[in-house]
A and B are shown apart, each in its own frame.
Chain A
Amino acid sequence: MATKLANTNMAFSCRLALLLGLVSISSLLGAGDTEVLEPRELIRAAMEHWRGVTSYSEMTMIIHRSDWERSFSMQAWTEGDKLSLVRVTGPKRDAGNGTLVKEQNMWTFSPKINRILKVPSSMMNQSWMGSDFSNKDISKSTDIIDQYDHSLLKTETVDDHLLYTIESIPHEEAAVVWGREVTVIRDDFVMLRQEFWDQDDILVKEMNSTELKLMDGRVVASRLRMHKTETPDEWTEMIVDVVDFDVELGANLFTLSNLRNPRQ
């Protein structure tokens, strides 16, 4: 789920998978033939590998503004790239708030009003829990990958790893506002950086993995920061504290009733 959350805007909804390094690149690429690799195929293959993978994670989200800062702790469950459930566990006054994402639909539950709300399309662009992520970032589906033309800008070797810089330009009718997105992916599929450029080619916002860790057998981007270029002192950071992959998830986990009454 960390994944899902991190799944910011856009290009690859499988970002979580990428972030958590669910995919081993070696299976995709023969050692020497990286040049042959189509960027689009790279992403698609990554998604294929991710399909059906389940995870449980505990995360901390820090929302920073120039004059205040707050943090949430939360639990998240994911199955594949279409199902995810996030539940806030602290601070106390926010505990119990939950978000369920199923395909492209999204529901939130707030114990204070004891009500489940389906997030309407009109609110998709609003902030998710006051963070720099929008509801859309959280719920975006992988279909979006087909809405871009991807090209490999460059490859470089840093610290014994190959880094792929992929530029994704949305199709004319794609539901994407950006002029282009640039993603830096390491050869073990950890996403290091993503940039969002507007149509005048000005950098609007970026997401960086500032810390990588080996967790439950995989390299995970354990600290992710999202911030807008115009307001450098406002950012949101997601920190993955614990993550378990391939966990058993109950059949009722991704349901509205479970969103309201936690049973796991």
Chain B
Amino acid sequence: MTRLFSQFKTILTLSWRNLWRNHRRTGIMLGAISVGVWAMIFMTALMRGMVDDMLNQGISNLPGHIQIQHPEFLDDPSVVNSIDEPRGDLLAALENNGVRVWANRIKVPAVIMSERESRGINLIGIEPVSEADISGVPARISKGRFLESNQDKGLVIGAKLAERLETRLGKRVVITSQDPDNNLAERGFRVIGIYRAELAAQEESNVYAARGTLQDLLKIEGRVSQIVLVDDDYRNVESLYRRVAAATPAGLEVKPWYEIDTYLAVMFNMMDGFVLIWVIIIFLALSFGLVNTLVMAIFERVREIGLIQALGMRPGLIVYQILLESLMLLLIGLIVGNMLALVTIKPLEDGLDVSVVAEGMAMMGAGSVIYPSLTLYDVVLANVVVILLGILTSILPAWRASRLDPVRALNTH
């Protein structure tokens, strides 16, 4: 036992000293590993942040984590495809089942007109109390106020839309839509609030009014387009979904966000795979450097290896020694890389402003500020991949070193 330990100690010392024999080469390799690991973690955090943002925005646009609606509504969001406000079992399930927030919503296509312009919009009837938790629009009011009650007579429009209509806070606009019998439903509204959104397209298309006011306008007393539920975390809505689905009367459709917007779902599911591929690609680039370093180190020491073999060291120990050398190199690189990543990500957690490329980001559905999101999973993944694959790539040079013929090795140079 002690012999094994002293053997290990000897090898450890040998490896450590060998590592620093050519400190410049080792330094460069360490730099490469550090930067590689930093890139893995930092870029992953940025991507996670971006995708989180896209998902959050996408979900608040739907809106909600779970929606209950007419089966035809998603394909044809017309006023005809409305449903009754929840009652009975469904109402009980919504009220008592630990649903964080739920709300009735109306959503119909409409036209908004000012004196000079008219534009097609989504007219959304909301319940002001719960809206902050659903779409977050109340928090983004830049002028005026948000709707205050279910019977509020005002209208909240986006800043971009106000600009297009050449109207502004306090002026009247006309909303035109259709009631379920295809008759014209129109009314004047005063603009009581202007909101800003990350995406200009949203500002232009979403117009908010109070739910009760719209029910009067569209002649759909007691009916709504959707019932929207928000749970604590969008990643984990399965159980709520099942409970609500069980309480929903036949003829209505219950859908979680990942079924409503499959693009978001794909993005969400792809992310883990994407991170793994990203880490492996960086590692592949790194591995060439790593193998090269080891091969060089061995090439320089052919005579020496021949000598210690001739003195009686078993080939297995040579493999260990070289692997240990590689492991130490990787570990130091990882430590530096992780620290580097931590040091660069922490200050950016309040948001990295990329408004220079805001337009491109908007096209992707992301905002112009990225909030890097560092997750333990990604850090562990990067480290594990580097160590495992690093050792794996080191095996070949180490094995070749252990196969050297001592006689020939002693005779080179």
Residues of A within 8 A of B (CB): 104-105, 118, 120-122, 124-126, 170-179, 196, 198-199, 204
Interface contact B109-A122, CB-CB below 8 Å: yes
A177 touches B114 (CB 8 A): yes
Place the interface of chain B in its size category: 20 to 34
Q: What residues on A are CB-neighbors of B109 within 8 Å? A: 122
Which residue in A104, A120, A176 is a CB contact (below 8 Å) of B174?
A176
Q: Which of A105, A120, A172 contacts B172 (CB 8 A)?
A: A172
Alpha-carbon distance A178/B190, docked complex (angstroms): 12
The reply to whether B176 and A121 contact each other, CB–CB distance below 8 Å, is yes
Contacts of A120 in B (CB 8 A): 178
Closest 4 A/B residue pairs (Cβ): A175-B186, A198-B115, A125-B118, A121-B176
A-B residue pairs in contact (CB < 8 Å), sample of 30: A104-B184, A118-B182, A121-B110, A121-B111, A121-B185, A121-B186, A122-B110, A122-B111, A122-B120, A122-B176, A124-B111, A124-B184, A125-B113, A125-B118, A125-B176, A170-B172, A172-B153, A173-B153, A173-B189, A175-B174, A175-B186, A176-B174, A176-B188, A177-B114, A177-B115, A177-B172, A178-B115, A199-B115, A199-B172, A204-B115
Chain A residues within an 8 Å CB radius of B178: 120-121
List chain A residues, Cβ under 8 A from B153: 172-173
Q: How far is the CB of B213 from chain A (nearest CB, A)?
A: 10
The answer for the CA separation of A121 and B184 in the assembled complex, in Å, is: 6
- Residues from chain B with Cβ under 8 Å of A122 in the complex: 109-111, 120, 176
Judge if B171 is at the interface, Cβ distance under 8 Å: yes
Tell yes or no: B173 within 8 A of A by CB: yes
Known: A122-B120, A173-B153, A173-B188. 15 other contacts (CB 8 A): A105-B184, A121-B111, A122-B109, A122-B110, A124-B176, A125-B113, A125-B118, A172-B153, A175-B174, A175-B176, A175-B187, A177-B115, A177-B172, A177-B174, A199-B172
Q: A172-B190, A177-B173 are in contact. Are A104 and B115 (CB under 8 A)?
A: no
- Do B188 and A204 touch across chains, with their CB atoms under 8 A apart? no
User: B116: which A residues are within 8 A, CB to CB?
Assistant: 198, 204
Q: How far is the CA of A177 from the CA of B120 in the complex (A)?
A: 16
Nearest CB of chain B from residue A78's CB, rounded to whole Å? 20
A202 vs B153: C-alpha distance when bound (angstroms): 26
User: Whole-angstrom distance between the alpha carbons of A175 and B173 in the complex?
Assistant: 8
Contacts of B186 in A (CB 8 A): 121, 175
Taken together as a complex, chains A and B put the C-alpha atoms of A174 and B113 apart, in Å, by 13
Least distance between A122 CB and chain B CB atoms (Å): 5
Interface centre among A177, A178, A196 (most CB of B within 10 A): A177
- Chain A residues closer than 8 Å to B184, beta-carbon distance: 104-105, 121, 124
Total A-B residue pairs with C-beta atoms closer than 8 Å?
65
- With both beta carbons as reference points, the residue of chain B lying nearest to A123 in the complex is identified as B111
Whole-angstrom CA separation of A142 from B8 in the bound complex: 100
Distance in angstroms between the alpha carbons of A125 and B189 in the assembled complex? 17
Q: What CA separation (Å) do A126 and B111 show in the bound complex?
A: 11
A107 CB to closest chain B CB (Å) equals 12
Q: Are B188 and A121 in contact (CB under 8 A)?
A: no
Which residues of B, 106-139, contact A by the 8 Å Cβ criterion?
A: 109-111, 113-116, 118, 120
Q: Which residues of B contact A179 (CB under 8 A)?
A: 115
Q: How far is the CB of B192 from chain A (nearest CB, A)?
A: 12
CA A198 – CA B111 in complex, angstroms?
A: 19
| Shortest Cβ distance from residue A200 to the other chain B in the assembled complex, whole angstroms | 8
Cβ-defined contact, A174 with B188, below 8 A = yes
Closest partner residue, chain A, to B121 (CB atom)? A122
Q: Which residues of A contact B171 (CB under 8 A)?
A: 199
A170 CB to closest chain B CB (Å) equals 7
CB of B183 closer than 8 Å to a CB of A = yes
In the bound complex, how far is the Cα of B113 from the Cα of A178, in angstroms? 10
Cα–Cα, bound, A174→B173 (Å): 10
Question: Does B177 make an interface contact (CB < 8 A)?
Answer: yes
User: B179: nearest residue on chain A (CB-CB)?
Assistant: A121
With a cutoff of 8 Å between Cβ atoms, the chain A residues found around residue B174 in the complex are 175-177
Which chain A residues border B115 with CB–CB below 8 Å?
A: 177-179, 196, 198-199, 204
Q: How far is the CB of B172 from chain A (nearest CB, A)?
A: 6
Which among B113, B177, B178 has the greatest number of chain A C-beta atoms within 10 A?
B113
Which residue of A is nearest B167, CB measured? Answer: A199
Question: Shortest distance in angstroms between A139's beta carbon and chain B's nearest beta carbon?
Answer: 9
* Separation of A174 and B174 alpha carbons in the complex (Å): 8
In whole Å, how far is B124's beta carbon from the nearest beta carbon of chain A?
16
Separation of A37 and B211 alpha carbons in the complex (Å): 42
- Asked whether, in the complex, the Cβ of B188 is within 8 Å of the Cβ of A170, the reply is yes
Looking at A120, A172, A175, A199, the one whose CB has the most chain B CB atoms below 10 A away is: A175
- Residues in chain B near residue A196, CB distance under 8 A: 115
